[in-house]
Amino acid sequence: MLKRKICVVVTARPSYSRIKTALTAINEHPELELQLVIAGSALLDRYGNAVDFIEKDGFEIAAKVFMVLEGENPTTMAKTTGLGVMELTNVFYNLKPDAVLTIADRFETIATSIAAAYQNIPLVHIQGGEVTGSIDEKVRHANTKLADLHLVASEDARDRVIKLGEIPEKVINTGCPSIDLVKEILKSPKLDFDPIEKYGGVGSKLDWKTGYIVVMQHPVTTEYQQAKSHITETLKAIKKLDLPTFWFWPNVDAGSDGTSNGIRTFREIEKPKNIHFFKNMEPKDFLRLLKNSKALVGNSSAGLRECAYLGVPVVNIGNRQYRRIRAKNVTDVNYDLDKILKATQKSINTKHFESSEIYGKGNSGENIAEILATSELTYSKTITY
């Protein structure tokens, strides 16, 4: 029997975490063959070299595509996307997949969508239908309009994709594969490694065993200019909080230079003693780190997704996650030292929350593989209204 060839394009470190269990399930499914393409910042050292983790996890890579233009501004984001369309078109043309899978809403994911849709390859979109601020909002819904099959992460998202004129049978709530990993690590949730010893990083040696928080704050593309001032508010709040803190560098985006720059400047001048910086961490280690933390601060989607299931308190800053569905563990605040500080103080004094299944029950990867193996694959559609 001929296996269905499913081509998945991973363009960034966080996308890998979100899709990993689905990759495993596709690989193991008797009727599917995985064609894994690694592109964009997932190949770059400065953004945590996700490709190394992927190869270490045993996945075979069908093609690698360098496509990130340097500059980290709106112009290079657009050019990166154009380059991605051209290169991925070529890759798909030569790999001849039966379906292509594009992930979520990063700016370059539309390159995957165009390269597939224009070549009449059925396009599957994972994690559409959510709502946020920034350019991601435009990209995500444009991906939906280019895609033929929608595997969404929540009921809320499913309703929205259907409202966008998609055929209800083509919109399936599989939950988010990132929750699968969470479920797995909850079987042995203990922090079984020393983060600084294992991952190095820079900054102060911390006495984190008595309690720590985690910070992860990305620039928001439509607020490109403000990236530096935004991150500085958070830095000041965390310094003032004076609790051991593990801080993760932002991923590739217009403005990440503003964010990185802000962090570097603050470090040089303020020399905060309670912060240690990491570039990257293996997903499972990261989840255990979160699970054992007092709170997550920043604007990472992990705060809404993984932390919902983990029950970890989250201080979500600014409007990067604007209107994305959230469980009770999330407190929203503005870019404001005082508000960030107060919300974080309150969070660290709160008990962890009960696990919420709004983003899935921990079996999403298998769901996705099964749907890819069995559902009808089409590449033409018409709006429902």
Residues between 150 and 179 with contacts to a copy of itself, criterion CB under 8 A: 160, 163-165
Tell which positions 36-55 bind a copy of itself, by CB under 8 A. 41, 43-46
Q: Of 163 and 361, which has the nearer Cβ to a copy of itself?
A: 163
Residue 194, classified by CB atoms within 10 Å of its CB into exposed (0-12), middle (13-18) or buried (19+), is exposed
- Are the CB atoms for 196 and 181 separated by under 8 Å? no
Identify the bridge partners of residue 245 per DSSP, sorted by sequence position.
213, 275
Which residue among 71, 168, 189, 211 contacts a copy of itself (CB under 8 A)?
71
Query: What b/e readout covers 233-271, taking b as 16+ CB neighbours within 10 angstroms?
Result: bbbbbbbbbebbbbbbbbbbbbbbbbbbebbeebbeeee
Distance of alpha carbon 128 from alpha carbon 150, whole angstroms: 7
Least spacing, CB of residue 186 vs a copy of itself, in Å: 33
Least spacing, CB of residue 106 vs a copy of itself, in Å: 12
Q: Of 145 and 236, which has the nearer Cβ to a copy of itself?
A: 145
Question: With CB under 8 A as the contact rule, which of the stretches 18-26, 73-81, 279-287, 292-300 interacts with a copy of itself?
Answer: 73-81
- 136 is an interface residue for a copy of itself by CB under 8 A: no
Which residue among 27, 131, 265, 373 contacts a copy of itself (CB under 8 A)?
131
Backbone φ, ψ for residue 106 (5° rounding): -60, 155
Distance of alpha carbon 37 from alpha carbon 177, whole angstroms: 18
Distance of alpha carbon 296 from alpha carbon 304, whole angstroms: 10
Least spacing, CB of residue 122 vs a copy of itself, in Å: 12
Q: Of 284 and 381, which has the nearer Cβ to a copy of itself?
A: 381
Distance of alpha carbon 226 from alpha carbon 259, whole angstroms: 9
Least spacing, CB of residue 30 vs a copy of itself, in Å: 28
Cα 164–Cα 165–Cα 170 angle in degrees, nearest 5: 105
Q: Of 36 and 182, which has the nearer Cβ to a copy of itself?
A: 36
Which residue among 31, 33, 98, 137 contacts a copy of itself (CB under 8 A)?
137
Distances (CA, A) of 64 to 10, 38, 98, 127: 10, 5, 19, 23
Q: Of 63 and 302, which has the nearer Cβ to a copy of itself?
A: 63
- 281 is an interface residue for a copy of itself by CB under 8 A: no
Which residue among 19, 103, 104, 135 contacts a copy of itself (CB under 8 A)?
135
- Are the CB atoms for 371 and 26 separated by under 8 Å? no
- 5 is an interface residue for a copy of itself by CB under 8 A: no
Structure token pair of residue 278: 């990491």
Task: Mark residues 172-211: x for contact with a copy of itself by CB under 8 A, - for none.
Answer: ------------------------------x---------
- 61-65/32-39 β-pairing: parallel
Distance of alpha carbon 337 from alpha carbon 290, whole angstroms: 23
Which residue among 226, 282, 373, 379 contacts a copy of itself (CB under 8 A)?
379
- 96 is an interface residue for a copy of itself by CB under 8 A: no
Task: Mark residues 331-370: x for contact with a copy of itself by CB under 8 A, - for none.
Answer: ----------------------------------------
